[in-house]
Structure 1
Amino acid sequence: MEGDKYLQEFLVETSMFNSIVLGHLLPSNWWVTLPHFLQTWLRNYIAGTLLYFISGFLWCFYIYYLKRNVYVPKDTIPSNRAMLLQIYVAMKAMPWYTLLPTVSEYMIENGWTKCFSSISEIGWFAYIIYFPIYLVIVEFGIYWMHRELHDIKPLYKYLHATHHIYNKQNTLSPFAGLAFHPVDGILQAVPHVIALFLVPTHFRSHVALLFIEAIWTANIHDCIHANLWPVMGAGYHTIHHTTYKHNYGHYTIWMDWMLGTLRDPEDDSCQRAQKVQ
């Protein structure tokens, strides 16, 4: 009984999220008649779509218009057609992408994971220990998932190649961040869910990180090299899109550094300059 009461806290929290999003964005309360799982999926789909468009449009407006020719040279700005294609691919996959956080919330609500509802349950010290472990598991998992999507030829041909048609600066934009085959996008986010079974994880932190993925992937596809060590920024990821065999990491360069797949944008720029000379 005590366990059921505790799991009820997760259900109350997800119901609150559903009410906040669906209650404010849908014209009537017809959604309350849907099963809880479908309510959660609809909330994730609407929130994910809004986050994709708002972050993408604002970022593109800033770097391609307000700061035109400052961060990205004029001749490398992607065409409207290229960006519309990326949006089309991402929107086809969005219903499937948002199924993953819906399933993870279902597993959490049923007590299948190590998730906890409130930081006060374990204290801030334990949270500060567990959260980096969660991120390390995610980084490790995404690196290998991404690398195998390249190394296993059928996976590349039928899944990951959809994303790699954007292989030059003038075809990459923040909208390319979610332009994947839906199975590819889900596979690369699965480590977030696997980590729930391995390390105690704060529920809201997990949900937030899944949605922050949309912002992060937009950022690493804008071709702007921030040079903030050890962050796997857009400079590194642009190289990945041009060589196909470097910089598989997600948040950091550590996995690539340890496994010999790192290629630094600064070194790459120096090599190009020497060739020109």
Structure 2
Amino acid sequence: MENGYLRLFVEETSMYNRIVLGSMLPAKMWISLPHFLQSWLRNYVGGVLLYLLSSSLWCFYIYYLKRNVYIPKDLIPSRKAMLLQIVVAMKAMPWYSLLPTVSEYMIENGWTRCFPLFSDVGLMAYLGYLLTYLIIVEVGIYWMHRELHDIKLLYKYLHATHHIYNKQNTLSPFAGLAFHPIDGILQAVPHVVALFLVPSHLTTHIALLFLEAIWTANIHDCIDGKIWPVMGAAYHTIHHTTYRHNYGHYTILMDWFFGTLRNPSSDELKKDI
């Protein structure tokens, strides 16, 4: 790629750095940092704010404003449990922030198949590429998640950190990012792998990585949305209670295809908890 084309990526990520860091931190704290560190700091600040705000607002809505509507009172996790989940997620957040920073670095240096502008490909091609990207992510996260269970060493030293939340009264939106940092990064790696396999829009890629925080908060709230084929919270709650079903990410399709799907019902959930 020509340097002028690659410069468009750098200009865009620099703009995001100015918007996020410039509005939240004194200039002397970040403006003299190298571009890579600025991007990491922006991703860290953005990740922390998105995680805390989205999870806090959702917890306030379902546990207080709608108390006993979605979640019975005796199944609401304690404040202590939610605080523990926040502590685990905050310890991992500096490491989580490295993944989008590294992916941006690779994009800025022309190592991927990314493009900066919609006009580079057109709407229909963009939608086709986006669908392919999401399929790669869905397949990749399913198998990554499944192997984190099937390979005993990976489960013991990485994924078990997340699975201490194994009942409805210990699961909350804050559990969505409460992983060992390497575990959390591994499960997001398919987003980066997709950049090398299919043309991808830079801003869409960054947005999808950060939307993971909102999505994982949603599937840990124990509320059954029942929208086929979405991997709703009821499916993911079963995953936390049986450990061997419903490994999928956005949908249940991979679990259905590979025989690991278990459909939720009130009787099954009561039996497992």
Q: TM-score range by the shorter chain?
A: over 0.9
Unmatched 5+ stretches in structure 1: none
For the residue of structure 2 that corresponds to 1:69, the secondary structure is coil
Show the counterpart of 1:206.
Answer: 205
Between the aligned partners of 2:246 and 2:71, the Cα distance in structure 1 is 21
Show the counterpart of 1:115.
Answer: 114
Between the aligned partners of 2:101 and 2:267, the Cα distance in structure 1 is 46
Q: CA RMSD in A?
A: 1.1
Aligned positions of 1:212-227 closer than 5 A: 212-227=211-226
- Residues 271 and 22 from structure 1, CA distance in 2 versus in 1: closer, same or farther, beyond 3 angstroms? closer
Letter of the 2:195 partner, please give it.
L
For the residue of structure 1 that corresponds to 2:164, the secondary structure is coil
Letter of the 1:88 partner, please give it.
V
- Residues 271 and 178 from structure 1, CA distance in 2 versus in 1: closer, same or farther, beyond 3 angstroms? closer
Aligned positions of 1:64-83 closer than 5 A: 64-83=63-82
Post-superposition offset of 1:272 = 6.6
Between the aligned partners of 1:271 and 1:18, the Cα distance in structure 2 is 47
Between the aligned partners of 2:12 and 2:216, the Cα distance in structure 1 is 27
Between the aligned partners of 2:48 and 2:77, the Cα distance in structure 1 is 22
Between the aligned partners of 1:28 and 1:201, the Cα distance in structure 2 is 32
Letter of the 2:94 partner, please give it.
P
Query: Is contact 2:238–2:269 with CA below 8 Å preserved after alignment?
Result: no
Post-superposition offset of 1:32 = 1.1
- Residues 123 and 272 from structure 1, CA distance in 2 versus in 1: closer, same or farther, beyond 3 angstroms? closer
Query: Is contact 1:23–1:29 with CA below 8 Å preserved after alignment?
Result: no
Show the counterpart of 2:50.
Answer: 51
Runs ≥4 residues deviating over 4 A:
270-273
The one-character-per-residue Cα deviations of 1:196-254 (angstroms, maximum 9, x if unpaired) are 00000011000000000000000000000000000001000000000000000000000
Between the aligned partners of 2:115 and 2:240, the Cα distance in structure 1 is 38
Show the counterpart of 1:156.
Answer: 155
Between the aligned partners of 2:250 and 2:222, the Cα distance in structure 1 is 15
Letter of the 2:104 partner, please give it.
E
The one-character-per-residue Cα deviations of 1:91-113 (angstroms, maximum 9, x if unpaired) are 00000001000000000000000
The answer to whether the aligner puts 1:42 opposite 2:44 as a matched pair is no
Letter of the 1:59 partner, please give it.
W
Between the aligned partners of 2:166 and 2:267, the Cα distance in structure 1 is 21
Show the counterpart of 1:188.
Answer: 187
The one-character-per-residue Cα deviations of 1:45-95 (angstroms, maximum 9, x if unpaired) are 000000000001100000000000000010000000000000000000000
- Structure-2-length-normalised TM-score: 0.97
- Structure-1-length-normalised TM-score: 0.96
Query: Is contact 1:143–1:248 with CA below 8 Å preserved after alignment?
Result: yes
- Residues 39 and 259 from structure 1, CA distance in 2 versus in 1: closer, same or farther, beyond 3 angstroms? same
The one-character-per-residue Cα deviations of 1:171-220 (angstroms, maximum 9, x if unpaired) are 00000000000000000000000000000001100000000000000000
Post-superposition offset of 1:128 = 1.1
Letter of the 2:252 partner, please give it.
I
Query: Is contact 1:139–1:250 with CA below 8 Å preserved after alignment?
Result: yes
Post-superposition offset of 1:30 = 3.4
Between the aligned partners of 1:55 and 1:30, the Cα distance in structure 2 is 26
Show the counterpart of 2:92.
Answer: 93
- Residues 17 and 256 from structure 1, CA distance in 2 versus in 1: closer, same or farther, beyond 3 angstroms? same
- Residues 270 and 83 from structure 1, CA distance in 2 versus in 1: closer, same or farther, beyond 3 angstroms? closer
